[in-house]
Every structure is written in structure tokens, then in C-alpha cells.
Structure 1
Amino acid sequence: MRTDNPLHRCVGDEQEFLASSWGRRPLVRRGAETGERFTDLLDLPDVDHLVMSSGIRTPAFRLVQNGEPLAPSSYTTTPQIGGAPVTGLADPARVLGAIDDGATLVLQGLHRFWEPLRRFVRGLEAALGHTCQVNAYFTPPGAQGLKIHSDSHDVFVLQAFGSKRWEIHGSDGVLDLVLEPGDTLYMPKGTPHAATAQNVLSGHLTVGILTTSWREAITGVVREVLSDEAFDDRLPAGWHVEPSAARVELLAHLDELRGRLEKVDLDAALEQRADRFWTGRLPLLARGLLDRTRLAELDDDTVVRRRVGAACQQRLAPEGLRVFLGDRALTMPSWVAPAVERLASGVPVRVGDLDLDGQSRHVLVRRLVREGLLEVDG
């Protein structure tokens, strides 16, 4: 059954995936068994529009063939707009010619400018707690864009249309398989792989998962402790002549570091990292101009709803209600928490039904529309 949950669309049973495959081994999920398709995220007509009609520029797209990038000058043009040169603009005729000759078209950073994938990635990030990105690869029949290689991050491969044969090298040997439309392939970082299109133009999405490691988390805590000026003391003059003479002082500083680490509020440290995650997402502001024009007519009968894909994490803190909206954090009076929770539920809400006085509910709704959490219905 089709679901709008991005992680479920990729892996099915989320808990089973996280327990058995996440960071461990490849996983294949067949669209023929699940009824899944990914053309709502990006289909061939969408690709045609982006490359042929939208004025896309490098590095948002590139062409590769047999593992080598083609020179951008061979498929781009530099027109002038307002008297200024616009470099790297797609030349549709030359792009098509290169594809006819076997080149693979790569669309890069789609999570930044293609709305269906912006929303998809936002949901996937919310489920995993790790930053995600999306590229797409469109390969003509029988061609190979990239030779066998591995990525420095985990990936989900979502086959959108056509088919590709994949060669995957893992600890259990070489896995040879063909992905058909609706199929998903998960590979942990460092998994060597290569793909070749079959008998028709093939398009797949590669969702990269830029995981945060414990090394990064621990380094962040240690770096915060080391920011104290007590660790700015210089090494003694002449230490380089007999390095071991500085051993006692080094041990003393390490003991000081160890003692301070034992006193670190780990919950607070993890909360700070979570705060950075919740405020490091790309904003989703489609219809933002339209919503602003509707604010002039906002009254108690206006209906608002949470913008699809908009992040909203709430936490009560000593300073009030902290509301994390993807790319920023707001601080509000704690007494608006029930109203914010209702507005963030995803269910359409009539402004007059909020349990606040008239002025307060109008101020709150206007603020959350302007901040991008809410959109005005209609």
C-alpha cells in the first residue's frame, strides 16, 4: 500500500531495516511486490522540462560518460541577460546530442530546487536525524555513466523509470541485479558499485545520507571543553629539544580535560546538537508570496494548515517555548504551546477555534505563516 512516509517508501518495515541493514549491508526492495513507484518524485517529463525549458545551469547538472565528466563547454552556452554574461546555461540541442552519443545526464542537488524531492528529503531527514541530498542519473540504453566506485555516505537508489543492471561488491561477494521501476536499493557508505542501463533510457534517484558519526559528536563535546582559556597555555620553551620533558605537563592537561569531561551535561550537549540539526534544514516556502497577500484578510474564519514537509519541533525551555522550524528557531511564551501543537498537527485549523484571545491567536497565526510553518487554505 502506498504511503507518504519517505523512509517506509524506501525500506518498508522501518524497524527491521534499522536493526538489520542500516550501516551494515545492502538491501533490495522490489516495487513489483509493493506497488511502489517514484515518478511522483521525478518523472521523465519533469527531467525534460528541467533541462530543455527551465534555464538550468551548471553545477545543477552535468554530463558524464564511461566514468569521465564531459567538458561543460561542450553542452552549455553563455548568453547575456541585462548586459551580464550568464555562464553554464544548458544548451538543449547539445545536451540531447551528448545523450544520443551515450552520455549520462546528472541532475545535482535536486533537494534544493525540485519541490517534490525537497519535501521527500525533509521527511527522510526527520525520520533518520541525518542530513540527506538527492542527485538523479539518466542513462541511455546500454550505456554506463560512472565506473565502479564507492560513496562516502549511505545511499538509497530509487529506480524511477527504465531499468539498470547493478554490480555491487560486498563482504558476501558480488551482487548482480537489475532494478526495475519502483525498486529500491540501499547501500552503506563505502560499498563499491556500478550501474549500466538496459534497453531503454533509465532514470534513478540517488538519495545520499550524510550521517553524523559519534566521532563528530564526541569531538564537538571535547572542542567545547577545550575552548576554555585554561588550555591556551603554551608549551614550555625548548620542549622540542627533549620532548619527553614536557610529558608531565601534558598529563596534567589531559587530567584536567578528563575531569572537565566528567562534569559535562551530556543531555544539554545532545540537545545542542539536536538544535543544530533542527535549524540546519532547507526552508520550504512554496506559495510564500501568495500566503503573504492573504494575511491582509486573515480573520477568525480563515483556515490554516501546516505546510507540507515543514519541520516543526517544539521544546519547553526556561526562556519559554522553543519552536524549531527547519532553518531557524523561535522563542515564544510558554502559554501558546497548546495552540502551536494544534497548528503543527497537520490538520486544518480555523483561526477562531484556537484557545487564545482574539489578538493573540491572530498574532500567532500571522507569525507562523510568515515563518513558513503554516499556509492559508484556499
Structure 2
Amino acid sequence: MIRGTPDGAADEQPLRRCVGDVDDFARRFWGRRVLVHGPGAEGFADLLSLDDVDRLVAEHGLRTPAFRLVRDGSTLPASEYTRSARIGSAPMSGLADPARVFDAVEQGATLVVQGMQRYWPPLLRFCRDLELELGHQCQVNAYVTPPNSQGFSPHSDTHDVFVLQAFGTKTWRIWSEGDTAEGEPDNVELEPGTAVYLPTGTPHAAHTQHTLSGHLTVGIHPTRWRRVLERALAHVLDDPEMDTPLPVGFPHAPGELAARLGEHLEEVGTRLAKVDAHHVAEDLADRFLTDRPALLRGGLTDRMRLSALDDPGRLRRRPGAVCEFRTAADGRLRVLLGDRELRVPEWVEPAMREIAAVPTMTVADLEQHLDRESRLVLLRRLVREGLLEVVDE
């Protein structure tokens, strides 16, 4: 286990907040070794505080399965801490009962708030930016544990994890890479602002002592080489010949089957060597860059401003927006926008590349590329698609 040294200054780059030296992390730790970083001076209170947890439970209409309560590794029955209600004539179930949730936590249960990257504004942006830095899908859960308690017994996860201590302190037992939970663990005291990276399969357990603790677990679901090779192999196996049945009576003639199998393996190997690696790699990248949920806060306000947008109007890149370019076979520009793809004519490409290259711009800034009507059509479209937002001046 390695400890990193915090920089001490606030840094909005999510990965840097989690690991410090990003290049060193990518080279020495990613997928390999445990890293403890911090505590950093900026902490993680901007992402979640105890007051935030209070408001989530008491005021935000939290419903299962977005939260659960756990004690000693077992999830408590939802009926013990939820209630039903109605909106008009429609019934709702699984609503958090604040008093009973708080009672359960006070009595030793851990509150788990799940999938927060979908609805909690600070984590929407943090998780999106972290995903784009890593190139891998992320999700975020929060764990709030009362004093002198342990929510889960020693276990390991099937994905990589960043643990971000938001408030309070918690003692973690972490078994070094390659060990099992049978050996002697390292004991790590997490203070607010401390981050821990756990590669897939690292056994760990955590408990509180004298204070209530709240931490965020960022689950990283990496695309692995196995998946890349499976996609390459899928190109090879996309052949009707591969769907023909094995010979009649094959269990009684394994030697004949082995000979036929050898022929197929040789053919597959020959075809696999001819697979266009660039095509497979670009296909995987495109899938990632068109499968990110749109972040459209303020989108309705922006649309109401579009009719008045003209040359003096200022726009900026929407925070967390994805914009990557590819060239289609017909020469048009493919614009990957996170959850969708646009195709624009070649003559629009210079304008698109200028839009992507600057953080803010006016409509008139595109006059060297497009006439007034064309630039208004393009920019209004990009506002509707979620790439740009209108600046209120």
C-alpha cells in the first residue's frame, strides 16, 4: 500500500482530487495497487455533507431502491424505515420515513444512498468529469455510519473503487493486493479529505469509533481487454459457417472433432490477424462517447432565449458536455455528444471545430465560416442538443 501526498490547494480536476499525481497513478497504480491519498486541504464536503444527508432524507422524497439501511452486513427490511403516500390518486411506496431512518442510524445501522450520480447535482458533474478523464463508467454511493459501528464484514468488489471521506473519521482494514481476508490487514484512518483507491478484488472492511462517518464510494466499471478482444473476435465469428452444427455422433469420435476444431481455430486465427484494430478501437470509443446521459440543467431556460439570440449573443460550453469528432465514410463530420450523434456537412466542419475549441463565444465569432442565418441555425441546434448554453448578460 502506498500513501500519496496532497497538494494542499483546491483542484477541480476530479481524478487529481482522488489520486494527486495523475500520470503516476496511471502508470503505477491503475488496476494494480492500493493508493491512499491525502487528506487534501479542500476535502470533499462540496460533494456531500452531513447537512446534505439530512436534507436528502427529510426533504427530497428519497425512495427505495435509491437508499437502504444495513447492519452487520445485512440489509434491513424496507418496511422498517419506509412509508407510503399518494400523489393525486396514484399511490407511492418506498418513501423514506425520516424519523425511522434517523432512529435506525442512531441505533447502529449504516445508511446507504445509491446511484447519486443520477440526481445529486455536485456528483452529477463530478462523476461526469471523472468518467471522461478515466474513459470508464462511474457510479457513486454514499455510506453514513454511526459511531462504534460496522456496516459490512470483510469483502471485495468486482470493480475498482475510489473511497472519498467526506465527514467524520473511519478506520479501514485493507488487505494488500494478492492477499485474502485471512492475512493481516493494513489499518488506515480516513479523515475528511482522504481518498483511497482499491483495485478490483481488494478485500476491505471499515468501522467507526467515536464519530459518525460519511464517505462516498465511486465505483469504476472499467472496460477490460477481455471485452476488446471479444469484440474483435465477434467480427471473425460473424460468419454463417460458424453456426453449422457439430457432426452427428461427435461425442463418440473426439479425435475427428479435434481435427475439425483445429481447422476452425487455424481459420479463426488467420481472420483475427486481419481484423482492423483501429476500427474495433474506434467503435469502443464511440460507444462510450455516445452512452453518457445528457446534463441539461438550465436547458428549458436556454430554449426560451433562443428566439432572441443574435450576433451579439454569447454562448459557452455546457459543463460536463461531451464533444468529439469523427469523419464518416461519406465525408460528413460525425459529432459525438455524449448520448447522441450528429452528422453535419463538410462545409460546417470549420465552424464546429472552432465551437469545440473555445470555452465561450459570440454568435458573430463564426462569421468567417457561416453567414448569419446559418450560424444561428447551427448554434440554436447545439443549444437544443445540450452542447452549448446561453450566457445571461
Q: Which of the five TM-score ranges fits, normalised by the shorter chain?
A: over 0.9
1:351 corresponds to which residue? 363
2:193 corresponds to which residue? 182
Indicate the SS of the match to 2:267.
helix
1:36 corresponds to which residue? 42
Residue from 141, 144, 150 that aligns with 2:147: 141
Indicate the SS of the match to 2:293.
coil
The range that moved more, 183-192 or 254-263, is 254-263
1:308 corresponds to which residue? 319
Do residues 238 (structure 1) and 238 (structure 2) align? no
Output one character per residue of 1:161-214: Cα deviation in whole Å (capped at 9) or x when no partner: 111111101147521011111111111111111111232221111011101111
**Separation in structure 2 between the aligned mates of residue 104 and residue 332 of structure 1, nearest angstrom:** 51
Regions of 4+ moved over 4 Å: none
How do 1:258-273 and structure 2 match up within 5 A? Answer: 258-273=269-284
**Separation in structure 2 between the aligned mates of residue 276 and residue 252 of structure 1, nearest angstrom:** 34
Indicate the SS of the match to 1:181.
coil
TM-score, normalization: structure 1? 0.96
1:296 corresponds to which residue? 307
1:15 corresponds to which residue? 23
The range that moved more, 243-252 or 51-60, is 243-252
**Separation in structure 2 between the aligned mates of residue 202 and residue 339 of structure 1, nearest angstrom:** 50
How do 1:122-141 and structure 2 match up within 5 A? Answer: 122-141=128-147
**Separation in structure 2 between the aligned mates of residue 193 and residue 346 of structure 1, nearest angstrom:** 44
Q: Which letter maps to 2:26?
A: L
Deviation at 1:14, TM superposition (A): 0.4
2:238 corresponds to which residue? 227
How do 1:94-105 and structure 2 match up within 5 A? Answer: 94-105=100-111
- Asked whether the equivalents of residues 154 and 187 of structure 1 are also in contact (C-alpha less than 8 Å), the reply is yes
How many pairs were matched up? 376
CA RMSD of aligned residues (A): 1.5
Query: Residues 154, 228 of structure 1: CA spacing in aligned structure 2 closer, same or farther, 3 A cutoff?
Result: same
**Separation in structure 2 between the aligned mates of residue 114 and residue 252 of structure 1, nearest angstrom:** 55
Output one character per residue of 1:17-48: Cα deviation in whole Å (capped at 9) or x when no partner: 111111111111112xx413111112222222
Deviation at 1:307, TM superposition (A): 0.7
Q: Which letter maps to 1:27?
A: L
2:5 corresponds to which residue? none
2:161 corresponds to which residue? 155
**Separation in structure 2 between the aligned mates of residue 337 and residue 164 of structure 1, nearest angstrom:** 52
Deviation at 1:318, TM superposition (A): 3.1
Residue from 239, 244, 263 that aligns with 1:252: 263
Residue from 368, 374, 377 that aligns with 2:388: 374
Deviation at 1:121, TM superposition (A): 1.2
Structure 1 residue ranges without an equivalent (≥5): none
Indicate the SS of the match to 2:108.
coil
Residue from 336, 340, 348 that aligns with 1:328: 340
**Separation in structure 1 between the aligned mates of residue 14 and residue 391 of structure 2, nearest angstrom:** 24
Q: Which letter maps to 2:172?
A: W
**Separation in structure 1 between the aligned mates of residue 214 and residue 387 of structure 2, nearest angstrom:** 33
Output one character per residue of 1:274-331: Cα deviation in whole Å (capped at 9) or x when no partner: 1011111121111111111111211112111111111111223333111111111111
1:66 corresponds to which residue? 72
TM-score, normalization: structure 2? 0.92
1:56 corresponds to which residue? 62
2:12 corresponds to which residue? 4
Do residues 202 (structure 1) and 237 (structure 2) align? no
**Separation in structure 2 between the aligned mates of residue 119 and residue 345 of structure 1, nearest angstrom:** 20
- Asked whether the equivalents of residues 299 and 351 of structure 1 are also in contact (C-alpha less than 8 Å), the reply is yes
Percent of residue pairs identical? 53
Query: Residues 346, 64 of structure 1: CA spacing in aligned structure 2 closer, same or farther, 3 A cutoff?
Result: farther
Deviation at 1:237, TM superposition (A): 1.6
Deviation at 1:337, TM superposition (A): 2.8
